[in-house]
A and B are shown apart, each in its own frame.
Chain A
Amino acid sequence: MRTNRGAIWVSVIALFLGFAAVTQVHSQDVFSRSLNLETPSSLTTLIANLSETNNELRNEIFDVRRDVADAQDSVSSGKGTLTEAERQVAQLRVFSAQSAVAGPGIAVRIEGQFDERALSDLVNELRNAGAEAIAVNDMRVGPKSFFTGTADHSIAVDGRPLRGPWMVRAIGSPDVVYVAMTRTGGIIGQFELIYRTTRFAVTKETALDLPAQLVASR
């Protein structure tokens, strides 16, 4: 009788241990991010993003390979590499917000309550959609730009307060950036639910003119 009772207790404890072991493995699964946990729809989006990045890399490799060939030709013909270097300087000045730029894109007009974190998220979303140059009102956003709140509930970019209504302009493919902002479940849709009294107007623009960043680089 005693033996049986002991065995029952051991079994109960063992059952519990078995349960605990599996639950432990399971709860670690919940917190360890791996692709295994993604839905097919998320995986498809990830794959589209990876493909896009890889295509951009392939284009850039093609361009730089041409630059290398051009530079070699220039050197061997005794011309020096000034032309290639000038082209690179122009590209890097645009890339790092040090020159004023023109081009097509979109504009987002924000009228009403808004804050610095939402503006930072909007800029992140625009960059993610491939925006090449971004300005808030008349301030160009640069590589080290930061967004803060001001005492009077306004927004400051790089420490300079900007009053609403805010106009966020971004140069890039108008169609791609427009769709990325306004798609169902996109950032503008989310903003409209969170800032219910604020008006958001997104428009495609054929010609935008953005200034260079004020403080070139700190």
Chain B
Amino acid sequence: MTASPAPQKRRLSHSLVLLVPAVLFGLLVTLQWRTQAERSELSVRYNAPLIDAANALQNEQNDLKTQLAELRRRLDEIQRNASSQSGAARELQTRLDQLKASAGLTPESGDGVIVQLDDARNVSVSARDVDKSICHATDLTDIINTAWKGGAQAIAVNDERVVNSSSVYCVGSTIMVNGTLMSPPFNIAAIGPQNSMLGAFDDPNQLQDIKQRRDVQGLGFRVSRASAVHVPAYSGALNVRFAEPH
């Protein structure tokens, strides 16, 4: 080592001075390249107002659900007070309570399992495999089906209770459950017999596609035993317009 430390330090500081503009330049070049590559695909003109409209409708929906829950609570209160008057009324109230519980209109808590489903993160996936590395509506319906098969008593997906009218709907890459917008990660909470449900999820014949994508593309999929699982009441409408009981 013959060189004195002083010039070496100067060289280093020269390099550092260059570092910042060079990084900026790199950023700019890449941004420019990206923008040119994508500008044509994006429909810039219509997206902003449509996204605003979708968000406004989702906010309105949350308000409507709160209003409906409050009205249901008031009706329940009036009926409960009135039902103490006669034996027939008490019997009917008991029947109503049972029906509300089996229809999913009451919150439930108890032991169960939590299933976490998420898009692959921080994994480089080839363009061909992107489709396999993200969650689809059918993954959710398969997981829900497996939980019912395992004896689940109550299920919710990201706090949306799964009831007889529930559907999982996919538009583009956005998922809706009970008509509510959702995005990953998904938490599927299922209350019920833990061993039986874990057995259903572990069954190699069940969810083969999801398990393979977890192992190959890094899809997030984890099933765990959980105590004190909370599943909220269904807060949507009970559309019965065409079906007549007989």
Contact = CB atoms under 8 A, between A and B. Distances in A.
Interface string B155-181: 000000011111111011111101111
A23 B30 contact: yes
A101 B243 contact: yes
B11 A6 contact: yes
A193 B80 CA distance: 54
A95 B68 contact: no
Q: How many of chain B's residues touch chain A, expressed as a range?
A: 35 or more
Contacts of B100: 92
A46 B174 contact: yes
B53 A42 contact: no
Contacts of B146: 146
Contact of B26 (A15, A50, A82): A15
A157 B191 CA distance: 21
B174 A33 contact: yes
Interface string A90-129: 1111111111111111000000000001001100110110
Given A6-B11, A18-B22, A94 B245 contact: yes
A120 B88 CA distance: 41
A91 B92 contact: no
A185 interface: no
Interface in B44-65: 46-47, 50-51, 53-55, 57-58, 60-61, 64-65
A160 interface: no
B9 interface: no
B245 to A, nearest CB: 4
B71 A65 contact: yes
Contact of A117 (B55, B79, B142, B239): B142
A193 to B, nearest CB: 16
A82 B89 contact: yes
Given A17-B23, A61-B68, A124-B141, A67 B75 contact: yes
Interface string B191-215: 0000000000000000000000000
Q: Is the interface of B mostly helix, strand, loop or mixed?
A: helix
A54 B60 contact: yes
B183 A34 contact: yes
Given A22-B34, A47-B54, A94 B27 contact: no
Contacts of A65: 71
Interface string B11-27: 10011101100111111
Given A42-B174, A93-B245, A146-B145, 7 more contacts: A14-B18, A45-B171, A52-B179, A60-B237, A95-B164, A120-B141, A127-B165
15 contacts: A40-B46, A43-B50, A45-B172, A46-B171, A64-B68, A80-B82, A92-B99, A95-B163, A104-B242, A105-B242, A121-B141, A132-B241, A132-B243, A143-B102, A147-B145
Interface of B: 11, 14-16, 18-19, 22-31, 34, 43, 46-47, 50-51, 53-55, 57-58, 60-61, 64-65, 67-68, 71-72, 74-75, 78-79, 81-83, 85-86, 88-89, 92-93, 95-96, 99-100, 102-105, 119-121, 124, 130, 133-134, 137-138, 141-142, 145-146, 148-149, 151-153, 162-169, 171-176, 178-181, 183-184, 236-246
Interface of A: 2-3, 6-7, 10-11, 14-19, 21-23, 26-27, 30-40, 42-47, 49-54, 56-61, 64-65, 67-68, 71-72, 74-75, 80-82, 84-86, 88-105, 117, 120-121, 124-125, 127-128, 130, 132-133, 142-148, 171-173, 209-210, 216-218
